[in-house]
Chains A and B, each alone.
Chain A
Amino acid sequence: MTWAQKVLADKSGRSRVEAGEFVVARPDAFMMHDIFAADVLGLLEETGIGSLDDAERVSVVFDHMVPAPSEHAARHQQKARILARKYGIEHVYDVGRGICHQVMVEEGRVHQGDLVVATDSHTTTYGAVGAASAGIGSTEMAYALATGTLWFKVPESVEVWLEGHLAPGVAGKDLILALMTLIGSDVAQNRSLEFHGPGSRALELADRMTICNMGVEMGAKFAVFPPPSASDRMGPYAARYTVDLATLEPMVALPHHVENVAPVREHAGIAINQVFIGSCTNGRLKDLREAASVLRGKSIAAGVRLIVTPASREVYLDALREGIVEDLIEAGAIVEGPGCGPCFGGHLGLLAPGERCLGTHNRNFQGRMGSLQAEIYLGSPMTAAATALTGVLTDPRVRTEAEREVAR
């Protein structure tokens, strides 16, 4: 079986399942964030459901509109807190704890082999620890919380076999952006993307999270790194790809679609007004560390705004202790509190018509960060930092090479 089949079989009490079958499974973990928690729990209250099947499996994270930027958001969050208490949910991570997907991994709420559902499309992130995880809507979440079960269609799987190591200046973000064009949604749609091979073992957790996070942008149902021990005996796959990590280079997604990807060097020089480093895609310690390595001791270009949003309180504290936050602020960055920040255009860094932002997040749809006439480019934290220094889209390897020259 594939990893997706194995997890769905385990969770539906079957010895094996076939792609295309529907199964009723018991997820191990459920997560809601502040945009939907009040709606889901409100629906349960309205329909007379007195208690959850298992409140212990449920997490609520306040991360999207935090701290509340409007009275409307504040009331919505207040309702979520009251209802979470009413339904006995103890795993509530309130304002300031961090972005839901980061918090779920840091708090050990998701594990290898788990089946996880959450009211957020980037739930695929937990594939980084070997969980099969997917987003669902709020009505389905209400049903799942009431009954502890949910139906799943067993997906076909696509194998991505990774070899080698990433070159300097290249990160997990560049791999997933490259896969957007190599695989694309025609092949990945509704399937489970499963990463195997020696290269996948060489990737850090932070990079694996970035990769699984953006699997959903190709329409994948799950994106997962199964444990290395499982690699040899898995299959069958609907399609297979092999990628040598050493051949990758910095990539950028151009407006207004995530599959619109090209090497950074081909578009270097485009003027950028705002650089955003953060989100559940790339707001981890490794990301901030890589950005700081580019920015340390320098200043961002005049006319560029650099917004950095650590993915969680832990990330923020670790970055403080390592001196990373100081490096970033000295270079000219605004460091925001942990949360989604401007990622989905809620607040804290929106764009005016005609402005361009290079961000490390996962979506560049028109209007995602404010004006419909703004443009969003997506790249790695190193590309973002190099771009902040020059004010134009910049391949981070160019600077590294130039600096090596100077050092010589």
Chain B
Amino acid sequence: MSPSGMTFSGKTWLLGDNISTDLLSPGHYVHDPMTVRLAHVLEAVRPEFAGGVQPGDVVVAGKNFGCGSSRESAPQHLKDLGVAAVVAESFARIFSRNAIAIGLPVLTCPFVAGRARDGEAITVSLDQGEVMLADGTRLQAERLPEAMLDVLARGGIVPMLREIGRR
């Protein structure tokens, strides 16, 4: 991935604290077809999200994003809906690991939920570890280590496994 491939610009979907894996991937629909499952993503907090989110949009949230179970469908659903990256003040451990594993960029950025505005443009630079808001404000984020950036650049762990499998 070129350095520019590490930068995403899109519309902000602003969420609060403690967005759980149950909100992201409601357990109730696990046996339904994927289109049904995706239609219910975040419906309890943002009913218009699943229908309105555009490829390249960025989810911005407060603390403890992705708390709850270890289900990988939580980050996968966001990725499947086209979300380019999630920026939050903090992440639940297993969610952020799973997100990187499936190739969804996540960036920890203190104070972001208080500064970003819903619906406005936001630019996320993974390699700089920086977030830029519509009014030009730059927020320092925790830069991911090289190894994680590499996993993301390759599209997650599955393509890496395929490479190992080919050897």
Contact = CB atoms under 8 A, between A and B. Distances in A.
A pairs with B:
yes
B97 interface: yes
A142 interface: yes
A143 B102 CA distance: 11
Nearest to A21: B145
B148 A22 contact: yes
B70 A151 contact: no
Interface string A115-151: 0000111000000000000111111101100110001
Contacts of B52: none
A48 interface: yes
Interface centre among A49, A50, A140 (most CB of B within 10 A): A140
Contact of B147 (A135, A142, A146, A151): A151
Contacts of A120: 70
Interface in A238-271: none
B51 to A, nearest CB: 25
> How many A residues touch the partner, as a band?
20 to 34
B158 A146 contact: no
B27 A139 contact: no
Interface stretch (B8-16, B41-49, B86-94, B127-135): B86-94
A24 interface: yes
Nearest to B31: A72
B158 A139 contact: yes
Given A189-B90, A190-B93, A139 B165 contact: no
A137 B97 contact: yes
B32 to A, nearest CB: 15
Contact of A139 (B67, B102, B166): B102
Contact of B70 (A49, A137, A146, A185): A137
A58 to B, nearest CB: 16
B164 interface: yes
B64 A142 contact: no
A24 B148 CA distance: 11
Contacts of B165: 47-50
B156 interface: yes
Interface in A135-173: 135-140, 142-143, 146-147, 151
A4 interface: no
Interface in B82-124: 90, 92-94, 97-98, 101-102
A371 to B, nearest CB: 12
Interface string A334-373: 0000000000000000000000000000000001000000
A219 interface: yes
B70 A119 contact: yes
A253 to B, nearest CB: 16
Contacts of A219: 64, 67, 92-93
B97 A47 contact: no
B98 A139 contact: yes
A138 B148 contact: no
A140 B98 CA distance: 7
Contact of A121 (B27, B94, B166): B94
10 contacts: A22-B145, A48-B161, A48-B162, A121-B70, A137-B70, A137-B97, A137-B98, A139-B101, A140-B98, A151-B147
Given A47-B165, A146-B161, A219-B92, 17 more contacts: A48-B165, A48-B166, A49-B161, A50-B165, A136-B70, A136-B97, A137-B72, A137-B101, A139-B102, A139-B158, A142-B157, A147-B164, A151-B147, A185-B64, A190-B90, A219-B67, A367-B27
